Amino acid sequence: MARRLLVAVTALAVALATSASLALAGANSGHKLAIHVKAHPTSCTSGYPTFTNCNQIIYTYVGSGDVDVMPVFYDLAEYTVNELGLTWPEGAWGSGSWVRCRGDLAVGTINHSGGAGYPNDVSGTAIAWSTCQRKWCSTPGYLWLSVSTTGTVCPAPDPPTGDYGVVDCAAEPGPYYDYPERTYCAGIFGAVGDDPCNQPGAANSSWGEIKSMFGR
């Protein structure tokens, strides 16, 4: 199993590195990225949140204390990689603890708010699957935070690459990296989040170094 996974991930890295046309849209060109908030703790194996529509994403959470925030990639067709960072008011809440619940391999983790200036910490993650995932939604993990003041948690680029999004399953000249059409923040302890069903968000359009991350 380990050998098959290594071969699959190596093949993915080669395919990404030789992708011919980054201008072409991939299979997930209209996907979105939102933040779901729930009370801590969360189990990766028992009662792990799943989503079949955007109305199930809790984007405004009135409580404080220990909370778990989950990135939700949705309106997907297929994927082999999820990549992102997160931002939150780290000066008030402190660092977080990331737990990966899905995927076969990950590069990096999320401990600090994106762009907070921690050179020895990746503060973002890219998660790969050894086989194509054909699902509407992906929730690869969660970040445990200790909330003490009003604030928001937002998707952000993975600092080492400057990118966030998903990689589709296309054969040559793919696969293709798809950036979210919109992103949505979650509001906690008095802050109002962005409704993932209709609130406009932000989009990113740069291509970074995800091609080489899994080839190291």
Q: Which of 164, 166, 168 is nearest to 202 (CA)?
A: 164
Three-state secondary structure string covering the chain: CHHHHHHHHHHHHHHHHCCCCCCCCCCCCCCEEEEEEEECCCCCCCCCCCCCCHHHCCCEECCCEEEEEEEEEECCCCEEEEEEEEECCHHHHCCCEEEECCCCEEEEECCCCCCCCCCCCCCEEEEEEEEEECCCEECCEEEEEEECCCEEEEEECECCCCECEEECCCCCCCCCEECCCEECCEEECCCCCCCCCCCCCCCCCCCCCHHHHCCC
Kindly report, residue by residue over 86-117, the tens digit of the pLDDT: 999 999 999 999 999 999 999 999 999 986 55
Domains and CATH numbers, the chain: 2-204 (2.60.40.680)
pLDDT in tens, the chain (216 residues): 444 444 444 444 443 433 323 445 799 999 999 999 999 999 999 999 999 999 999 999 999 999 999 999 999 999 999 999 999 999 999 999 999 999 999 999 999 998 655 555 558 999 999 999 999 999 999 999 999 999 999 999 998 889 999 999 999 999 999 999 999 999 999 999 999 998 554 443 333 344 444 443
